[in-house]
A and B are shown apart, each in its own frame.
Chain A
């Protein structure tokens, strides 16, 4: 039992976006230092020195700046990357400011055209003209991948592109099996592992099996923590779904339950679970970066 293999130990990007699922007060208290891409890159480097081997991030100007710093410092090859798209918060905020979905669509179309990615622009145009969501999705993914590679350079090892939980869970709610399948096919053609960030892990597993989606080809990022925080519908159901796999596909997120748990108890719970491919943990200070990943490695070593 337990996830002891070569796990992906990922630095999460929530602190760099001023996100704390514990409280907004805590996020604000962290101060402006985390907004500096140089400092964020320092934290990632310290994490890597202490055992981290990857970076999970929502694709935004903030995180792309961090990738650029890592690239300039020649450190990009030390990590694998798990990118989450779209950065839903930014798009929802923009939709609010621009007067809803149509305003957002116009702004986004303009950005793709200005990016010079002709393949994405033509796909996107076709998608709009034919009301073809799959084409629009492919255009969008192509655009986002090109942003990542142009920031991280050729040595950036993009392991997985994951659909943000808002999109994954909305598509699950609407039973859009064809959209999931189109996404998986497209990502596999790009030689990138298709991934899904979800708040409904047990539901996703059930649905994907119903739709004959090969779970071995994908990665899923979902909350797993000792207190069952955000494990929907329950800790028991999520653990059962996890046990039903034959190999690790899951990146555990929210393992500290947003700071509610002590790192040692959080990590011990994760190492007791089967089929965990990796974990993602955000770090906001040098000490935190050193201690968190050292501790994860230490506890994993005990499991071997």
Chain B
């Protein structure tokens, strides 16, 4: 693919679709050649804005565009049918999907199988892996700075549905708090600590009976290492979503969130890194530097024909944990 512009289509023009379209438009060697959205109103405006791109409602109509990759940024519930239809119509086998990969682990497994069979470059939009603070934490953990890991506490909080007057409809549209917000912290935990299983899960409702607004769960692995997660989108004073960890090891403690990494060692030494200290600048700023790095990573993988992370397979593990939490909490029948 080197030398030619990569021809990309974005399916789903909500806020994430617009954000990825914008970044792709400024990335060198990439051309957004088509856009796809079910809403007639969105398509009408898109035609005015993207004068050189094909704008359509139907993925099937993207045939013949000689595409190199598709970005799927539709609601989570539609990821599986959309990606399946992209593979079936052989538009391209290189697919980026916004998080989560699918609405269930069963669907995620099927998408992994399709991608594996086609040998595609695939990736899922867990953008916090591209945040400088979490990258620093990963690097420190890989260097075993904390010694033997003992336990962790993880949280993901927002105020998105604090005093929600719109009921459960909007929260369901976003796939529930675990898929919408909790998935980020689950993905980071899997990235930091590898696999684990769910021991206990509890769900609480704030807005309406049956809505999953708070989720608490405990996990552990075969070595006895474990931790707990607290996820809620009904917390006061979280203007932006906040995700973080407290990790305890034999040599000290690490705290990490979107803003900073802090180490407190048992030998009395301590150190903090803020975003300022971690070379956070990118070539173009849209929505935050993480999104640019994420798209740049996928495009680089496409150009080099190599795998990208988090791949479908890696991201499917998040869906597996979400399903396990739901099962433990008795939500799987809903």
Contacts and interface: CB of A to CB of B under 8 A. Distances in A.
Nearest to B49: A174
Interface string B152-187: 000000001100101001100110000000000000
Given A97-B170, A131-B48, A232 B282 contact: yes
Given A24-B242, A131-B44, A96 B283 contact: no
Contacts of B50: 174
Interface in B272-302: 274-276, 280-287
B165 to A, nearest CB: 8
Interface in B172-213: 173-174
Interface residues on A, range: 35 or more
Closest 9 CB pairs of A and B: A173-B22, A199-B285, A23-B259, A131-B44, A232-B285, A99-B173, A233-B283, A260-B276, A28-B237
B15 interface: yes
Nearest to B24: A173
A99 B39 CA distance: 13
A31 to B, nearest CB: 10
Contacts of B308: none
A176 B49 contact: yes
A193 B52 CA distance: 32
A27 interface: yes
Contact of B239 (A27, A102, A173, A258): A27
Contact of B285 (A96, A97, A227, A230): A230
B225 interface: no
Interface in B247-286: 257-260, 274-276, 280-286
Nearest to A260: B276
A16 to B, nearest CB: 12
B236 to A, nearest CB: 9
A215 interface: no
A18 B39 CA distance: 35
A231 interface: yes
A214 B328 CA distance: 62
B44 A229 contact: no
B166 A105 contact: no
Interface stretch (A73-81, A87-95, A243-251, A291-299): A87-95
Given A27-B239, A170-B22, A200 B281 contact: no
A229 B274 CA distance: 11
A128 B39 CA distance: 14
Interface of B: 13-15, 18-19, 21-23, 25-26, 39, 41-42, 44-45, 47-50, 160-161, 164, 166, 169-170, 173-174, 237-240, 242, 257-260, 274-276, 280-287
Contacts of B242: 24
A101 B14 contact: yes
A95 B13 CA distance: 13
Contacts of B287: 166
B170 A18 contact: no
B276 A257 contact: yes
A98 B166 contact: yes
Contacts of B275: 229
B284 A97 contact: no
B134 to A, nearest CB: 15
Contacts of A97: 160-161, 164, 166, 170
A234 to B, nearest CB: 6
26 contacts: A24-B238, A89-B239, A97-B160, A97-B161, A97-B164, A101-B15, A101-B39, A102-B39, A131-B44, A131-B47, A133-B48, A133-B49, A165-B285, A169-B286, A170-B286, A173-B26, A174-B25, A174-B50, A203-B284, A228-B281, A230-B280, A231-B281, A232-B281, A233-B283, A233-B284, A258-B276
B48 A99 contact: no
A232 B22 contact: no
Contacts of B21: 173-174
A276 to B, nearest CB: 20
B111 to A, nearest CB: 23
B294 to A, nearest CB: 15
A89 B287 CA distance: 11
B44 A200 contact: no
Contact of B25 (A25, A92, A133, A175): A175
B170 A96 contact: yes
Contacts of B283: 232-233
A18 B160 contact: no
Nearest to A228: B281
A172 B284 CA distance: 10
Contact of A170 (B18, B166, B258): B18
B160 A96 contact: yes
Nearest to A127: B45
A100 B25 CA distance: 22
